[in-house]
Amino acid sequence: MSQVEEKNIKSEKTSSEQMNIVVIGHVDHGKSTVVGRLLADTGSLPEGKLEDVKERCKRNSKPFEYAFLLDALKDEQAQGITIDSARCFFRSAKREYIIIDAPGHIEFLKNMISGAARAEAAMLVIDAHEGVQENSRRHGYMLSMLGVKQVVVLVNKMDLVDYSQTVFDSIKEEYLAFLKEIDIEPMSFIPVSAREGVNIVSVSKKMSWHDGLSTLEALDSFVKEASPVDQPFRFPVQDIYKFTEQGDDRRIFAGRIETGTINVGDEVVFLPSEKKSRISSIEGFNVAEQSQAFAGQSTGFTLAEQIYVKPGEMMCKVDDTLPITSTHLKVNIFWMARQPMIKGKKYKIKLAGTRVPVWLRDVVTVLDASDLTTDSNRQQIERHDIAECVLETLKPLAFDITQNIAQTGRFVIIDNYEIAGGGVVLDEVYIPTSRIERRVQQRENNWQRSRITPKMRSSRYNQRSTLVLITGAAGDGKENLAKALEEDLFESKRMVYYLGISNSLLGIEDNIDESGERDESLRRLGEVSHLFTDAGLILITTIDDLDDFELEMINTLNRPNDCRVVNIGANQFTKATVDLQVDNLDSQKEAIKKIKDLLAEKKYIVDYSI
């Protein structure tokens, strides 16, 4: 059901179109001047702005630059350089534009990338006098990686080379050859002089040999890409809302549809948990009731069957081609941080809605994008490198190969709170053992055993050790049960211990799983359990909202010792086996008896008789 407020539904459709264009190229080749000119010569500047800037230049006895219209920061004007990408707004007869004027200096590459990642098309500026330079190539390469496919090349400062067609042709030839290597087919090459305003808003007679478009015409010739409504449905769950205190009992799965289309009634599956449900309604505020939602919309859904899903999972349609679910990804990464990316260090990956710990496993090749040379003997990834490498995540995550679905096939890497790198997924990699399994193997190989064997402990204590893991939705009943169980077993002379710290270790703050802290706490818990069970104890603990992956992790870490799962209330697992299901805790006594029966049946407590 949708709420409609103040009797208003969308009155009339405005049909206007908006496009984001980035202007890139080597430092000082005239990007800001091109944009400044474009704004000035189309009359897009606010009244008085041009005069203001001219006046200020005069006052400071500096020559006027069109670039000052964009380079608004004090440092930028002082140094005559663009530091950060600027958005400027511009309207042609055809549509609205946000033009992003990117910096060309290598020091500010991350700012250029931030600008270009927002763009649908690019204008790449090359200085006719200086010719193709390092960042002309590097920026071109970044476009291909960021997935910007439409490119127009402006050969600027033609005034410095006497508007020579020979110079233009040779630059065109050289750069075309480069673009071909990286699979970009430019829409056109245009000779311009930004400072003189030649071929900016209209084709000038200065270069009669140029029979192509002006810069403005080229801008308008970019094609707005159709929204990906026909692709498989991808909905990264951004959050799950329940505004109960405000008297609203809808449980809404909120997020933005990245690709595809969905209808009320469609069957959906959440990955990686593989939980299934059906779309019950499409929610919105101040919109008419909808039965369909599609790519690009920030929306929300309620589901027919209530299931427990965490933010970060990907909702897909059961009948669609599904994304890959894996812990290993082959990727192309560009690194922006000063600290290199190294093996053995824990980073965080953010892909669609997921945020999980990740490690660099293998560096395949490193590419220098300024000349396309490669190096296959590198162990780490340095600033501004582009590397093909293998990443390993702690948990499986759902993703697509970028060639198939770009929106869910790209990611960033966080190092010490900062976005340090970005990348695209090339493929999945099959690796038979998980990180945790390798860790356990290593641990078992190095474990120093004494002469006291598990068997000796078992007969001394008159019990077999195991971890008793009590799971289920959050609620305090589980802890009381665990304590009572400990007491009961203790009274019957068992070696038993209740580990009461688990839930507080995991924290009650809802954001904790996003930083990977929950996983880390669970890992420790697994190691601690292993110690207790190895010492021959029956260890009892409770964990709220455990999922399949987390249980698997604890199980693995606790090996070779046993783990028995007692689930209270709704079963939140899709794959894991629950050893004992207790529907409610109405009678604690009853529950304890069931658990003890289980322990007897599985021969942990041998002499226990009913």
Partner 1 sequence: MDHLEVLESQSMFILREAYRSFGDLVMLWSIGKDSTVLLWLARKAFFGHVPIPLMHIDTTFKVPAMIEYRDRFAKQWKINMIVGKNEEVLESKETFPDGKTNRLQCCASLKSEALKHTLSGDWPRWVLNHKSGEYEKQLNGKPFTGVIVGARADEEGSRSKERYFSPRDRHNDWDVADQPPELWNQFKTDFAPGTHVRVHPLLDWTELNIWEYIERENIPIIDLYFDNGEGKRYRSLGCYPCTSSVDSTAKNVREVIAELRGGKFANIAERSGREQDKEDGSGLETLRRDGYM
Ligand X SMILES: Nc1nc2c(ncn2[C@@H]2O[C@H](COP(=O)(O)OP(=O)(O)OP(=O)(O)O)[C@@H](O)[C@H]2O)c(=O)[nH]1
110 binding ligand X? (CB under 6 A): no
**596: partner contacted, choices ligand X, partner 1, Mg ion, none (Cβ within 5-8 A by kind):** none
592 binding ligand X? (CB under 6 A): no
Nearer to ligand X, 33 or 572 (CB): 33
DSSP type of residue 379: S
**450: partner contacted, choices Mg ion, ligand X, partner 1, none (Cβ within 5-8 A by kind):** none
- In the complex, minimum distance from the CB of residue 29 to Mg ion, in angstroms, rounded to a whole number: 9
- In the complex, minimum distance from the CB of residue 87 to partner 1, in angstroms, rounded to a whole number: 4
104 binding ligand X? (CB under 6 A): yes
**285: partner contacted, choices Mg ion, partner 1, ligand X, none (Cβ within 5-8 A by kind):** partner 1
| Phi, psi of 53, deg, nearest 5 | -65, -40
Other Cβ atoms less than 10 A from the Cβ of 174: the count is 13
Q: Is 453 exposed, middle or buried (0-12, 13-18, 19+ CB in 10 A)?
A: exposed
- In the complex, minimum distance from the CB of residue 530 to Mg ion, in angstroms, rounded to a whole number: 58
156 binding Mg ion? (CB under 5 A): no
Contact stretch for ligand X (CB under 6 A) within 156-164, 333-341, 462-470, 500-508: 156-164
Token pair 């990804």 is found at 329
On whether the CB atoms of residues 359 and 305 are closer than 8 A, the answer is no
**105: partner contacted, choices ligand X, Mg ion, partner 1, none (Cβ within 5-8 A by kind):** ligand X
Q: Are strands 324-335 and 386-399 parallel, antiparallel or unpaired?
A: antiparallel
DSSP string, 542-560: EEET--HHHHHHHHHHHTT
CA distances 270 to 6, 264, 267, 593, Å, are 36, 16, 10, 36
d(CA 593, CA 486): 12
d(CA 510, CA 522): 15
Nearer to ligand X, 79 or 480 (CB): 79
Convert 503-519 to b/e letters by CB count within 10 Å (16 or more is b): bebbeeeeeebbbbbbb
- In the complex, minimum distance from the CB of residue 111 to partner 1, in angstroms, rounded to a whole number: 7
Among 82, 150, 199, 502, binds ligand X (CB under 6 A): 82
d(CA 156, CA 26): 11
**424: partner contacted, choices ligand X, Mg ion, partner 1, none (Cβ within 5-8 A by kind):** none
- In the complex, minimum distance from the CB of residue 203 to ligand X, in angstroms, rounded to a whole number: 16
Among 21, 25, 30, 31, binds Mg ion (CB under 5 A): 31
Token pair 């192309």 is found at 332
234 binding Mg ion? (CB under 5 A): no
**193: partner contacted, choices partner 1, ligand X, Mg ion, none (Cβ within 5-8 A by kind):** ligand X
- In the complex, minimum distance from the CB of residue 193 to partner 1, in angstroms, rounded to a whole number: 25
**3: partner contacted, choices ligand X, Mg ion, partner 1, none (Cβ within 5-8 A by kind):** partner 1
The whole-angstrom distance between residue 180's C-alpha and the CA centroid of its chain comes to 29
Q: Are strands 386-399 and 410-415 parallel, antiparallel or unpaired?
A: unpaired
Nearer to ligand X, 109 or 381 (CB): 109
Among 138, 157, 317, 395, binds ligand X (CB under 6 A): 157
Interface of this chain with ligand X, residues 18 to 37, rule: CB under 6 A: 27-33
85 binding Mg ion? (CB under 5 A): no
CA distances 316 to 261, 271, 324, 403, 566, Å, are 10, 8, 12, 18, 31
d(CA 65, CA 33): 7
82 binding Mg ion? (CB under 5 A): yes
Interface of this chain with ligand X, residues 190 to 209, rule: CB under 6 A: 193-195
Nearer to ligand X, 62 or 602 (CB): 62
| Phi, psi of 375, deg, nearest 5 | -140, 120
d(CA 67, CA 582): 71
Q: Binding string to ligand X for residues 56 to 75, with x set by CB under 6 A, is what?
A: ---------x-x--------
- In the complex, minimum distance from the CB of residue 297 to partner 1, in angstroms, rounded to a whole number: 6
Indicate the helix (H) or strand (E) that contains 96.
strand 96-101
- In the complex, minimum distance from the CB of residue 39 to ligand X, in angstroms, rounded to a whole number: 13
On whether the CB atoms of residues 534 and 465 are closer than 8 A, the answer is yes
Nearer to ligand X, 105 or 276 (CB): 105
| Phi, psi of 603, deg, nearest 5 | 65, 40
Residue ranges with strand state E in 369-511: 373-375, 386-399, 410-415, 418-428, 466-472, 496-499
**509: partner contacted, choices ligand X, Mg ion, partner 1, none (Cβ within 5-8 A by kind):** partner 1
**544: partner contacted, choices ligand X, partner 1, Mg ion, none (Cβ within 5-8 A by kind):** none
| CB neighbour list of residue 426: distance below 8 Å, 6 or more residues apart | 330, 331, 332, 388, 401, 402
106 binding ligand X? (CB under 6 A): no
**194: partner contacted, choices Mg ion, partner 1, ligand X, none (Cβ within 5-8 A by kind):** ligand X
**561: partner contacted, choices partner 1, ligand X, Mg ion, none (Cβ within 5-8 A by kind):** none
Nearer to partner 1, 26 or 110 (CB): 110
- In the complex, minimum distance from the CB of residue 26 to ligand X, in angstroms, rounded to a whole number: 7
| Phi, psi of 348, deg, nearest 5 | -125, 135
Q: Is 607 exposed, middle or buried (0-12, 13-18, 19+ CB in 10 A)?
A: exposed
- In the complex, minimum distance from the CB of residue 252 to partner 1, in angstroms, rounded to a whole number: 6
| Phi, psi of 76, deg, nearest 5 | -65, -45
- In the complex, minimum distance from the CB of residue 82 to Mg ion, in angstroms, rounded to a whole number: 3
DSSP type of residue 46: P
**10: partner contacted, choices ligand X, partner 1, Mg ion, none (Cβ within 5-8 A by kind):** partner 1
- In the complex, minimum distance from the CB of residue 343 to partner 1, in angstroms, rounded to a whole number: 22
DSSP type of residue 340: P
The whole-angstrom distance between residue 193's C-alpha and the CA centroid of its chain comes to 40
The residue count for binding ligand X (CB under 6 A) is: 21
Q: Which residue(s) pair with 541 in the sheet?
A: 469, 499
**154: partner contacted, choices Mg ion, partner 1, ligand X, none (Cβ within 5-8 A by kind):** none
Collapsed DSSP state (helix, strand, coil) of residue 574? coil
Q: Are strands 188-191 and 150-156 parallel, antiparallel or unpaired?
A: parallel
Collapsed DSSP state (helix, strand, coil) of residue 315? strand
Among 32, 199, 327, 561, binds Mg ion (CB under 5 A): 32
Binding site for Mg ion (CB under 5 A): 31-32, 82
For binding to ligand X (CB under 6 A), which residues are involved?
27-33, 65, 67, 81-82, 103-105, 156-157, 159-160, 193-195
